[in-house]
Amino acid sequence: MVREEDENRLLYYRTLFSQYLVDMYAKIETERLNYIRYNQAYLRADSYVHLKDAIGRQDTDITQLGNRVVLPSSFTGSPRYMHERTQDATTYVRHYGRPDLFITFTCNPQWKDIADALLPGQKPHDRHDIIARVFHLKVKAIMSLLTKGNLFGKVRCFMYSVEWQKRGLPHIHILLWLEQRISAINIDNVICAEIPDPQKDPILYKIIKTNMIHGPCGNLRKSPYMKGGCCSKKYPRILLKETQTGDDGYPKYRRRAPADGGFTVEIHGVTLDNRWVVPYNPVLSRTFAAHINIEYCNSVKSIKYIYKYVNKGSNQASFGLENDNDEVKLYESGRYISSSEAVWRILAFPIHERFPAVFHLAVHLENGQRVYFNPNDFNNVTEKVNNPQKTTLLAFFDLCKTDNFAKTLLYVEVPSYYVWKSTKFERRKRGNNVDGWPGVKKDQALGRVYIVHPNNAECYYLRLLLHQVRGPTSFSDLKTIDGVVYPTYQSSCKSLGLLEDDKQWNATMEEAALTDSPFKLRDLLSEDIKRQVQSECQDSVQIMNEVYNKCLSSIEDTVLSLGAQCLEYYGLPQPERREEVIQNREISYDTLLLAQVVSNNESLLNTEQYQIYNQVLDSIENGTGQVFFLDAPGGTGKTFLLKLLLARVRKNGGIALAVASSGIAATLLDGGKTAHSAFKLPLNLMRVETPLCNISK
């Protein structure tokens, strides 16, 4: 009885200690997040040109400008931080090609270093602080063996990320780029997926048996890896006499059957062969006596998967419906912290390492650089307008005006030869000398220009030019090709042959002219507009000009309703509007027709529909901002009620957005749109850093 009480007491103290560690780090992280929340609550960001224009207008509310900045990429582990690490990894691929090896190194709680540090009666899971310290030393040892010991050859660059299993054990994912690439015929010299000979190498045999055998799972034994009746890790693998490469994924390593000289091992009373072996390297396994999975990267598919896997960040699970764009709250919600991770972060051990360094380079249109300001401090805003901070792009232009060597470089190459000093680039003082350029040295640092979405058309083409034009001295210089100054960055890209031509659009229009009506293809053709104009004008030249202009106006109306951008933004001619105003789709309904619809259909509502109808209208008229959920069986009049509500609001000049989750459902409502189109939602809400509507102030 006493012994059982002692065990219960020990279990209680173990749980208490683990919870104490988690609580301690949770408080530390909360304080860091609170600093960001309360010290940047009023910090906003906007383009310099917008801020400058706003200051010039006296009726502008500065507090409504720009977007709030809440959780920056400088916060370790934030979505932006992880996204930047992923982009940095792609920078290595651009310079050095695909990585050679992907290594996963997991902590072994049975290490002698851990056992010797435990107090009598303690288990490894009682001392997460010891596990963290020992594993940190092991990580330094394995990285030293790989990068300084050149186990697989001289390392060109590397990166690794630390993660934690649900049961608490830390592990790291390592990517290695080697100067001398591993060829397909040499894979077997580096990676093994077979059980060692128990007679010739009993030590390695025991290590592999303990750490590198998967399962067994499936019909042999229950396992958490089983999903849908199959092993999610794709074990058992097929037996092969020779290693095979070429598939879009990892190679199929040599796994010889017992009849071909392979060995077996017995685990949990089950005899297993080489089909169950996790790929390993004999030297690493013998040195560290732990689970060290090593894979050969030989395809684009595996590279993309690895980058996302290495930089996926901490586990989170939460769901909410709020009108509060609080990125700190989004990050904190559902944050899972194990006691092992808590110790690691408290001790300030790194969770990411990489070499060489990647320097981030800004990209923006002229006067479009990002400006951070405090809207509650007018002096601060004025100072930002009068003395905007120098960006790396503007500094690059200035450098090319005075430095002859810089004129030979692309924007992305600058960090290899120059260091950033607050507001300007200066030549490096360390590194290898550059032939023919006295005083110029090259280091291993790499540059990466921030990505730009193609929707931001001109900035996207500007970025494209920065990767093609050497030594530009200004924005205008980028648009000058062979002495010709082009009006847009897009036209400059076309002159350099960087963009496709319009043959596919011409073919589309030719096909549409034969198969579809002009009304349905307003975005492509203008025959119906031509017919309307001909009845009003007899001058053939004036007719075509008018047709051309009206067609552009019609296209722009549609584009504005979808993306809120004029045709000029997409590189198309801007129509002449004269005295007409651009139609807002949400207030351009026929109010007389809608009034008749309401008058004819209100009397058709049944008792329950009428009750709902009145409640919704009452909420709209009083501005209470309520949310209603309408649920009823199919065919009972839900769509009829919704269409009547839309007509009632619109007939009085109000704006009613008809939004549905799918295109089919949207077609049932007058003026219906999908939620993704109306609110600029990300297409995949589960795979985006911050799933928020992309609508700025």
3-class secondary-structure state, position 152: coil
- For 370, phi and psi rounded to 5 degrees? -70, 130
Distance CA 159, CA 100 (A): 12
What is the pLDDT confidence band of residue 507, given thresholds at 50, 70 and 90? Answer: low
Least confident piece of the model among 19-28, 104-113, 394-403: 19-28
What is the model's pLDDT at position 538? Answer: 62
Q: Domain end: 553, 583, 613, which one?
A: 583
3-class secondary-structure state, position 185: helix
DSSP 486-549: -SSHHHHHHHTT-S--SHHHHHHHHHHHHHS-TTTTTTT--HHHHHHHHTT---HHHHHHHHHH
Segment of 23-27, 36-40, 254-258, 522-526 carrying the highest mean pLDDT: 254-258
Residue 397 lies in a domain: yes
3-class secondary-structure state, position 25: helix
Torsional sign, CA 90, 91, 94, 97: negative
Q: Is the pLDDT of residue 54 over 70?
A: no
State how far Cα 313 lies from the chain centre: 11
Q: Name the token pair of 91.
A: 């920078």
3-class secondary-structure state, position 399: helix
What is the pLDDT confidence band of residue 124, given thresholds at 50, 70 and 90? Answer: confident
Q: Calculate the alpha carbon distances from 192 to 281, 294, 651 in Å.
A: 6, 9, 74
Least confident piece of the model among 44-48, 202-206, 529-533, 542-546: 44-48
- List the one residue out of 351, 350, 341 whose CA is nearest residue 25: 341
Q: Are residues 578 and 603 in the same domain?
A: no
3-class secondary-structure state, position 446: strand
Do 106 and 98 form a contact (C-beta atoms < 8 A)? no
Q: Name the token pair of 666.
A: 């949207």
Question: What average pLDDT does the segment 316-345 reach?
Answer: 66
Q: Are residues 596 and 628 in the same domain?
A: yes
What is the model's pLDDT at position 380? Answer: 64
Distance CA 652, CA 654 (A): 6
Residue 322 lies in a domain: no
Distance CA 25, CA 129 (A): 13
Q: Are residues 625 and 681 in the same domain?
A: yes
Beta strands in 88-179 (DSSP E): 101-106, 155-164, 170-178
Q: Which residues contact 298 (CB under 8 A, 6 or more apart)?
A: 98, 184, 245, 246, 250, 251
Do 250 and 191 form a contact (C-beta atoms < 8 A)? no
What is the model's pLDDT at position 68? Answer: 55
Q: Is the pLDDT of residue 300 over 50?
A: no
Instruction: Find the helix or strand (DSSP H, E) in which 131 lies.
Output: helix 128-147
Question: What average pLDDT does the segment 621-640 reach?
Answer: 86
- List the one residue out of 416, 389, 386, 411 whose CA is nearest residue 400: 411
Q: Is the pLDDT of residue 317 over 50?
A: no
Q: Are residues 473 and 367 in the same domain?
A: yes
Q: Name the token pair of 14.
A: 């173990």
DSSP 66-88: SEE--S-TTSTTSHHHHHHHHHH
3-class secondary-structure state, position 178: strand
What is the model's pLDDT at position 318? Answer: 44
In this structure, the strands spanning 155-164 and 170-178 are: antiparallel
Query: What's the structural domain count of the chain?
Result: 4
Q: Is the pLDDT of residue 494 over 50?
A: yes
Do 497 and 465 form a contact (C-beta atoms < 8 A)? no
What is the pLDDT confidence band of residue 465, given thresholds at 50, 70 and 90? Answer: very high
Give residue-wise pLDDT tens across range 580-608.
444 555 666 788 888 888 899 888 888 88
Helices 79-96 and 300-310 pack at an angle, to 10 degrees, of: 150
Do 195 and 265 form a contact (C-beta atoms < 8 A)? yes
Q: Which residues contact 57 (CB under 8 A, 6 or more apart)?
A: none
Q: Are residues 367 and 484 in the same domain?
A: yes
3-class secondary-structure state, position 172: strand
Distance CA 542, CA 589 (A): 31
Residue 52 lies in a domain: no
What is the model's pLDDT at position 1? Answer: 42
Q: Are residues 579 and 591 in the same domain?
A: no
What is the model's pLDDT at position 684? Answer: 62
- The greatest distance separating any two alpha carbons of the chain, rounded to the nearest whole angstrom, comes to 109
How many percent of the chain have pLDDT more than 70?
A: 73
Q: Domain end: 564, 583, 602, which one?
A: 583
How far from each other are the two terminal CA atoms of the chain, in whole angstroms?
Answer: 68
Other C-beta atoms closer than 10 Å to the C-beta of 381 total 20
Q: Calculate the alpha carbon distances from 203 to 199, 210, 262 in Å.
A: 10, 11, 18
Residue 198 lies in a domain: yes
Residue 333 lies in a domain: no
Residue 663 lies in a domain: yes
How many percent of the chain have pLDDT more than 90?
A: 28
Range of the domain at 433: 361-374+388-495
Q: What share of the chain is helix, strand, coil (3-state, %, to 5)?
A: 45, 15, 40
What is the model's pLDDT at position 12? Answer: 54
Do 393 and 411 form a contact (C-beta atoms < 8 A)? yes
Q: Are residues 365 and 466 in the same domain?
A: yes
pTM (predicted TM-score): 0.68
What is the model's pLDDT at position 303? Answer: 53
Q: Are residues 366 and 481 in the same domain?
A: yes
Instruction: Find the helix or strand (DSSP H, E) in which 372 lies.
Output: strand 370-373
Torsional sign, CA 500, 501, 506, 511: negative
Q: 430: which DSSP letter?
A: S
Distance CA 525, CA 504 (A): 15
3-class secondary-structure state, position 635: coil
Q: Are residues 578 and 591 in the same domain?
A: no
- List the one residue out of 213, 101, 193 whose CA is nearest residue 155: 101
Q: Domain end: 430, 465, 495, which one?
A: 495
Between CA 66 and CA 70, with CA 69 as vertex, the angle to 5 degrees is: 150
Residue 439 lies in a domain: yes
3-class secondary-structure state, position 153: strand
Q: Is the pLDDT of residue 6 over 60?
A: no
Q: Are residues 622 and 599 in the same domain?
A: yes
Distance CA 517, CA 528 (A): 9
Q: Calculate the alpha carbon distances from 624 to 608, 609, 615, 619 in Å.
A: 21, 20, 11, 5
Q: Are residues 367 and 464 in the same domain?
A: yes
Q: Are residues 489 and 555 in the same domain?
A: no
- List the one residue out of 29, 311, 18 whose CA is nearest residue 168: 18
- For 172, phi and psi rounded to 5 degrees? -125, 150
What is the model's pLDDT at position 319? Answer: 41
Residue 696 lies in a domain: no
